[in-house]
Amino acid sequence: MSGPKETGGECLTILLAGPRGFCAGVDRAILIVERALEKFGAPVYVRHEIVHNRFVVESLEAKGAVFVDELDQCPTDRPVVFSAHGVPKSVPEAAEAREMIYVDATCPLVSKVHRESEHHHRKGCHIVLIGHAGHPEVVGTMGQLPDGAMSLVETVADVYALDVPDDKPLAFATQTTLSVDETRDILAALRERFPDIRGPKKEDICYATTNRQAAVKEIAQDSDMVMVIGAPNSSNSRRLVDVAREYGCPKAQLIQRAKDIDWDDFDGVKTLGITAGASAPEVLVDEVISACRDHFDQVTVREVVTAEENVEFKLPRLLTA
Ligand code: 0CN
Ligand code: SF4
């Protein structure tokens, strides 16, 4: 099929995973940019995409936010917001040195990992971070400590190849948006190789990542295809695709918008699973469902809810005073 309604009497059932989409950290980060625009007027600079979603970034640009990669691209007389993923300590230090107004939109659950890493470092530990090289959260977390204080592992193989100082106790921390199952295996390897390693009871994967993965597991097996709405640079969204594939739906894919849907791919698809990463707004889910309604004669939507969420984070004081 290629154009709208060429299917002739075809029905589609949509299984909508719940929870999906925005988490409390993303809600807060976006609100921080909006409040900063209200308080300081435009332009407000934002270092890195506030969350990994083009639609969100473009909506904020339309309100007067200017997105940059690095702090030195901002004029010193305008406020700057740091993204939800966190920043190395050197970034707020540089902002202070330049006497800039800055607002930190780092998710409190990422900041918690920063503080725990600092705590282990103060106790004399070397820290093993489980995460994806180059991801801004990993860059931010590693940047809480001096160079060489942390080692990064991405896989079980990395654990066995790991070279750590033998005169220090070990502790671990993790990125917040990893695959729960993969991290369990990496952690088991770490604990097997270093039985005394210190760290949190489970890992640092956040509630939103955990709940969205559990929800997509529930729909994957019953779906002929799963669409995860999210961006290619969104770690938590990409993990939802991995999890859906592992849990019985090889035809799982990441799409950013309805226009990315390849309708030719729908051959034999009677049940479509839909979820969205923590940085993908619900309006994009609605857009995909409405595109499906345009292409099928009958669409039935069934929401499969595996958890209720009621997490809320406070805004920084600078924006509430
Ligand atoms: O997609 P995000 O902006 O970030 P990652 O999943 O790539 O870390 O979602 C918000 C999560 C955070 C922090
Ligand atoms: Fe915070 Fe988790 Fe949301 Fe990231 S995905 S912003 S860590 S709640």
CA nearest 247: which of 270, 216, 268? 216
Task: Name the CATH code of domain 109-204 (choices 3.30.1540.10, 3.60.15.10, 3.40.1010.20, 3.40.50.720).
Answer: 3.40.1010.20
Q: In this predicted structure, what is the pLDDT of residue 9?
A: 67
- What integer is the mean pLDDT of 214-221? 98
In the predicted structure, residue 66 carries a pLDDT above the cut 70? yes
Tokens representing 258 are: 């309805």
Q: Just give the CATH number of 11-22+207-305.
A: 3.40.1010.20
User: Nearest C-alpha to atom 13 of ligand 1 is from which residue?
Assistant: 85
Mark whether 137 is an active-site residue: yes
Q: What is the mean pLDDT of residues 34-59?
A: 98
Q: Which pLDDT band holds residue 4 (cuts at 50, 70, 90)?
A: low
- The verdict on the CB of residue 234 being under 6 Å from ligand 1 is yes
Pocket of ligand 2 (CB under 6 A): 23-26, 84, 107, 109-110, 176-177, 206, 208-209, 236, 278
- Residue 6, pLDDT above cutoff 80: no
| Residues shown for the chain | 321
Output the pLDDT for position 1. Answer: 43
Are 159 and 190 spatial neighbours (Cβ–Cβ below 8 Å)? Answer: yes
Q: Is the pLDDT of residue 235 over 90?
A: yes
Residue 321: band (very low, low, confident or very high) from pLDDT cuts 50, 70, 90? confident
**Residue 280, amino acid:** A
- Cα 21 to ligand 1 centre (Å): 11
How many CA atoms are closer than 13 Å to the CA of 19, on its beta-carbon side? 20
Same fold for the domain at 11-22+207-305 and the one at 109-204?
yes
Confidence of residue 199 (pLDDT cuts 50, 70, 90): very high
Spacing, Cα 3 to ligand 2 middle (Å): 38
The protein residue with its alpha carbon nearest to ligand 2, atom 8, reads: 25
Instruction: Evaluate whether the domain defined by 24-104 bears CATH number 3.40.50.11270.
Output: yes
For the chain, the domains span 11-22+207-305, 24-104, 109-204
Note the pLDDT of residue 5. Answer: 54
pLDDT tops 70 at residue 237: yes
**Nearest atom (ligand 2) to Cα of 28:** 6
| Residue minimizing CA distance to atom 12 of ligand 1 | 85
pLDDT at 164: 98
**Residue type (1 letter), 274:** I
pLDDT on residue 35: 98
pTM of the model: 0.97
Question: Across residues 199-217, what is the average pLDDT?
Answer: 98
Residue 126 near ligand 1, beta carbon < 6 Å = no
pLDDT at 2: 44
Tens-digit pLDDT profile for residues 251-309: 999 999 999 999 999 999 999 999 999 999 999 999 999 999 999 999 999 999 999 99
* pLDDT tops 70 at residue 7: no
Tell me which of 137, 203, 246, 308 is the catalytic residue. 137
**Residue with CA at minimum distance from ligand 1 atom 9:** 279
Q: What is the pLDDT of residues 137-186, one digit of tens each?
A: 999 999 999 999 999 999 999 999 999 999 999 999 999 999 999 999 99
Q: How far apart are CA 190 and CA 259, in angstroms?
A: 43
Instruction: With both helix axes pointing from N to C terminus, report the angle between 180-193 and 207-220 in degrees, rounded to the nearest 10.
Output: 120
Apex 109 CA angle, 228 and 20, nearest 5? 20
Average pLDDT of the segment spanning 196-214: 97
- The pLDDT of residue 3 is above 70: no
